[in-house]
Amino acid sequence: MRDLLFLSQRIPYPPNKGDKIRSFNILKHFSATHRIHLGCFIDDPEDWDHVPALQEFCVDSCIVPLNKTVAKIRSLKAFLIGAPLNLPYFYDQTLDDWTKKVFATVKPASAFAFSSQMGQYFLNASPRPQRIVIDYCDVDSDKWRQYAASKKWPISWVFERESRTLLDFDRRIAAIVDAGTFVAPPEVELFETLAPETRGKIHAIGNGIDTEYFSPDRYYDTPYGEGGPILIFTGAMDYWPNVDAVTWFATEIFPKVRESVPDARFFIVGGGPTPDVLRLDRIDGVQVAGRVPDMRPYFSHAHVAVTPMRIARGIQNKVLEAMAMAKPTVTTPTALAGIEATPDQEIYVAEDANAFATKVHQALTDSTAIALGVHAREFVRSAYSWSSQLAPYDALINEAS
């Protein structure tokens, strides 16, 4: 086996949220053919319990704690050096020293970074691996641009600055790596438009879904109790696009749904709910469940999954999970980007509040919604297995060997 240095902004285990699902499956894929040397951060104290399970995939690791408050203070250095805030936020001297030691002593044939900010550890790689690949996942600089457009000054200025400086850094990293990947073709097209010099070395490698794990065939006790039909949103609730999505749904769409389905209930399921999310619990019919040990019972007993994302990049795992569980799913075009499902056959799609409410009503009351859920599961089973999605990485990471 060849040696591979794998850097990730967050411990890639357990695979219970978007970035960790993707990073873990990539690491697992590489571990079948490489000796993995893993460097990463832990920003959730509960994740320390999962280190032993992750180390089974690695021969060596450097896992360092990341205190979010300290990291935010450290990130202010970016204003002095003209860098994106994310760079000093995710810089650690111990991890940097360990990375340099791996380069010098192990001399890995390949190196891989999950997220562009981890690419900063490659800038002075010596000796240089034969192949360096970075997974940008999404065009984060454009996400910050969208954030800026929705905020007032001075926050809008900070976000616009982050968008500009992050794009500059992403282009700098693209120049030193052998290949870069994004989660969907639209992300590649956007990045190549913003950074035309990268054409030819940027590729789309999508997300997959474990359809055996997310299966509608298992029985679970209901977590909901007695009441009307359930609408569910899942995701990390300290992530601003998710906060925006559930706020929009709870305040502008859900009241319209209740006009026709008065006993409908909306459950927001995911860890770290912000104060803005917690306040939604005051709305009649809305409940903030917070972090749960297993999403599957919530999917299993829900009637409809909703993903009303207005700001998003890349493939939304929450959409694939709901579809794998054979749930009728209502989403926006933004959240569906990169997933080639057919509207009204495998998924419902709506853009504005009125149309979204209409589709939710259809999913709750139309007898064809059950068949749509079945077709959704068939679609993801055939098109989104992890093995088929990640296979192109083999050529990228080994191309020059």
Global pTM value: 0.84
Domain boundaries, the chain: 2-208+386-398, 230-383
Percentage with pLDDT > 90 across the chain: 90
Q: Do domains 2-208+386-398 and 230-383 have the same CATH topology?
A: yes
- Nearest-CA neighbor of 2 among 35, 46, 44? 35
| Cα 398 to Cα 1, 30, 387, distances in angstroms | 12, 11, 17
What are the start-end ranges of the E strands in 245-351?
265-269, 286-290, 304-307, 329-331, 348-349
> In angstroms, how far is CA 230 from the centroid of its own chain?
24
pLDDT string in tens for the chain (401-residue length): 899 999 999 999 998 887 899 999 999 999 999 999 999 999 999 999 999 999 999 999 999 999 999 999 999 999 999 999 999 999 999 999 999 999 999 999 999 999 999 999 999 888 989 999 999 999 999 999 988 988 899 999 999 999 999 999 999 999 999 999 999 899 999 999 999 999 999 999 999 999 999 999 999 999 999 999 999 999 999 999 999 999 999 999 999 999 999 999 999 999 999 999 999 999 999 999 999 999 999 999 999 999 999 987 777 889 999 999 999 999 999 999 889 899 999 999 999 999 999 999 999 999 999 999 999 999 999 999 899 899 999 999 986 44
Query: What is the distance between the alpha carbons of residues 232 and 248, in angstroms, rounded to a whole number?
Result: 14
Sheet containing strand 60-65, strands side by side: 60-65, 34-42, 2-8, 110-114, 131-137, 179-182, 202-204
88: preceding bond cis by omega (within 30 degrees)? no
In the CATH hierarchy, which fold is given to the domain comprising 2-208+386-398? Rossmann fold (3.40.50)
User: What CATH number should be reported for the domain whose range is 230-383?
Assistant: 3.40.50.2000
Per-residue pLDDT tens digits for 240-276:
999 999 999 999 999 999 999 999 999 999 999 999 9
Q: Which amino acid is at 120?
A: Q
